[in-house]
Each structure stands twice: as structure tokens, then as C-alpha cells.
Chain A
């Protein structure tokens, strides 16, 4: 059981480091890194604070402490995935509208150019 929690601690640290490196290299924007950092930090704290995790386990009514941690993490990751789906959908809509606008503007520019010839 403790081994699983240690693995979780390790994974949390790795996740935090990867996110920080990605932000530094501008691979992800700061606003999208925050939710990852919060989740990774929460996993780190819960995996090292056994009494806190036990309290959560008892309140939820689960039999196993590591299972509680993984269920919590899984739930939060699902919410984050949903949030990113919303963001991607907005970006796609904006992207399509912009591509259409660019095409229409290019069409008008070409028409003006043809008139001037």
C-alpha cells in the first residue's frame, strides 16, 4: 500500500517538473498549466499525508486508501479533459470562422486586383 503511495508521489513530482519545463519552453500556456500544477500538487500532498487521505477515504466510504487517491485523481483528470474539450471546441469554432474570413478577404482582394488590371 505504501509502495503505491510512493509511486504516486514520484509520478506527481514528475508531472510537476514536466509542466514547469513545458511552461518555461512555452509548450503550454501558463493559464493551462495551472490546473495541472494544482492537481499534481494535490496528489503529492495526499500521497504524503496519510491521515488526511484516510479521512477522505472514511468520508467517501471506500475500503482502500490508495484506491481513494486514484479515484480522486481519475475524477479530477476527467473534469480537466472535459474542460480541455470545451476549450478545443471554442478554438476550433474560432479557427473555422477565421479561416472563412481570410478566404473571403482574399477573394475580395483578388477581385479588386482583377478590376484594377
Chain B
């Protein structure tokens, strides 16, 4: 699997114990974006996720031990960057993301030139609905992120994201390791990178169960707030040290 053309796209699928859903996810991606390589990053599953993913036609990056979502996604970004891919779209392995939206995210990445495109449940008025607690959390982080990002973000917790090579360059070196979606936005913004949102459909989980509990939600909010705060501080300290240096927005070319 190598990147042969300047518009090369790879779809990465982080998965942990998703044997019930990952096969269908891979087949769905192959169906809607034929010819695009699919890389399942297995976060040391204890079930047959690797086997099912390979049988469905995916390449598999098998982590030797459980790293959590951020470490898992970053491993995929690193490999995609090393293989020379220009664009990477992340689709979760639980089947909640609709592969029919991938071409729209890809087109937006190419046409807008922005570094990240988020598949958002809430851009369209008729967007998907989510649970009450999660909805509250999303509203809270919208408020927090608005002044930091300088523009509104409708779905900051969406894992359905596409990035170009400049973002890939940054993320392969530095990526939030737990609950990465919101912090990743701040990491990009601090480098003056841009993001766009496109409306997407999200399905309810068909197999397995979410690991998010009420207690974990509180921990999530505190953890992400700390991460956002630290990223803002990091950037400000760097800016003070080298006020005339350009942010690394030129990235690494193809």
C-alpha cells in the first residue's frame, strides 16, 4: 500500500473489540470509495477484529498493546504519513459513521485547501440527535472553543474527520492521546490551520457498547478542558520565545 498520486487518500479505522462492526465498516468504505486503501488500526483487541478486518479486505496495523483512541489514531497517521498519503479520513470502527459521506469530506478537503474537515452531525438543521448529557457536553465545548478557534464549531466531538498532509505532518509528531477530537482542533488552530465542517449522518451503534459512563463524562470534560488549556499555554509560550517565526504551515510536501 503506497500513495501513488497527488490526491492519494487513505481511510483509517481505529478499532478496539469491534469484530461485530468492523467488517461492515470496511466493506462499506470499499463500496462508496472504491480503490481507496482502508487501514484498520487494531488497539490490541481481545476478539477477532484483526481477522474480520483482513477478511473484509482491509490492511491492518496491529498495536502490540492497548494505547487508547489517541495513540491508536496517531499510529495510523504516522503510517499514512510515512507511506506518502496526501489525505487521510478517519472513520470509527463501530459503524456509526456513514461511508457515503466520505466523498463529500474528501472533496471539501481538496477544494477548500483547509487542513481539516469535520463530518458534523449538527451543521444541517435536520442533523442527527444525540443523548442529553452528550448534547450538553457538546454545547459546553462549543462555547469554550468559540473564542479559541475564532469561529464556531458545531460538532467538536466528532471523530469523523479528514486531514490533509500538512495536518498529517503535525499529528504524526504530536497528537492528543486521550479524547483527541477537541484538543486536535486546538492543536491545529494554534498553528493557524483551518478547518471546515460538512453535514454528515451518524448511525446508532449496532454492536458492542460505548465505554462512556456518567463518571467518565465528568472526567472527560475535566481532561479535555485541561488539554485545551495546556495547548493554549504551549502556543503562547512558543510565540513569546520566537515572535517572528512563522508557524509550520508549509508542512512536508508530498
* A-B complex is real: yes
Please list the residues of chain A having a beta carbon within 8 angstroms of any beta carbon in chain B. 96, 99-100, 102-104, 106-107, 111
- Of B64-72, B131-139, B182-190, B198-206, the one contacting chain A is B64-72
Chain B residue contacts of A99, Cβ below 8 A: 63-65, 67, 71, 75
Contacts of B60 in A (CB 8 A): 107
Q: Contact at B62–A100, with CB atoms within 8 Å?
A: no
Q: How far is the CB of B2 from chain A (nearest CB, A)?
A: 9
Is B82's CB under 8 angstroms from A96's CB? no
Contact status B78-A100, CB under 8 Å: yes
Q: B49-88 toward A: CB 8 Å interface, digit per residue (1/0)?
A: 0000000000111111101000100110011001000000
**Distance of A96 Cα from B63 Cα, bound (Å):** 10
Task: Determine the chain B residues whose CB is within 8 A of the CB of A102 once the complex forms.
Answer: 64
In chain A, what residue has the closest Cβ to B74?
Answer: A100
**Cβ contacts under 8 Å, A107 to chain B:** 59-62, 79
Judging by beta carbons under 8 Å apart, are A111 and B63 in contact?
no
Sample (21) of A-B pairs whose CB atoms are under 8 Å apart: A96-B71, A96-B177, A99-B65, A99-B67, A100-B63, A100-B67, A100-B71, A100-B74, A100-B75, A100-B78, A102-B64, A103-B41, A103-B62, A103-B75, A104-B61, A104-B78, A104-B79, A104-B82, A106-B62, A107-B59, A107-B61
In the A-B complex, the 9 residue pairs with the closest CB atoms = A100-B75, A96-B71, A103-B63, A107-B61, A102-B64, A99-B64, A104-B79, A103-B61, A96-B67
* In the bound complex, CA of A104 to CA of B63 (Å): 8
User: Which applies to chain A's interface (DSSP): helix, strand, loop or mixed?
Assistant: helix
| B1 contacts the other chain (CB 8 A) | yes
CB-nearest residue of chain B to A92: B177
Contacts of B1 in A (CB 8 A): 111
CA of A104 to CA of B67 in the docked complex: distance in angstroms? 14
A102 to B177, CA, bound (A): 17
Residues of A within 8 A of B75 (CB): 99-100, 103-104
> Nearest CB to that of B59 among chain A residues?
A107
CA distance A102 to B67 in the complex (A): 13
Query: In whole angstroms, what is the CA distance A107 to B75 when docked?
Result: 11
- A102 and B63 CA atoms in complex are apart in Å by 8
* Complex Cα–Cα for A106 and B63 (A): 9
- Shortest A43–chain B CB gap in Å is 34
* B159-212, CB < 8 A from A: 177
Bound together, the chains give a CA A102 to CA B78 distance in angstroms of 12
Residues of the B chain whose Cβ atoms lie less than 8 Å from the Cβ of A104: 61, 75, 78-79, 82
In Å, the complex CA distance between A104 and B61 comes to 7
- A85 shortest CB reach to chain B, Å: 14
Q: Which residue of B lies closest to A107 (CB)?
A: B61
- Chain B residues closer than 8 Å to A106, beta-carbon distance: 62, 64
Known: A103-B62, A103-B75. 16 other contacts (CB 8 A): A96-B177, A99-B64, A99-B67, A100-B67, A100-B74, A100-B78, A103-B63, A103-B64, A104-B61, A104-B75, A104-B79, A104-B82, A107-B60, A107-B61, A107-B79, A111-B1
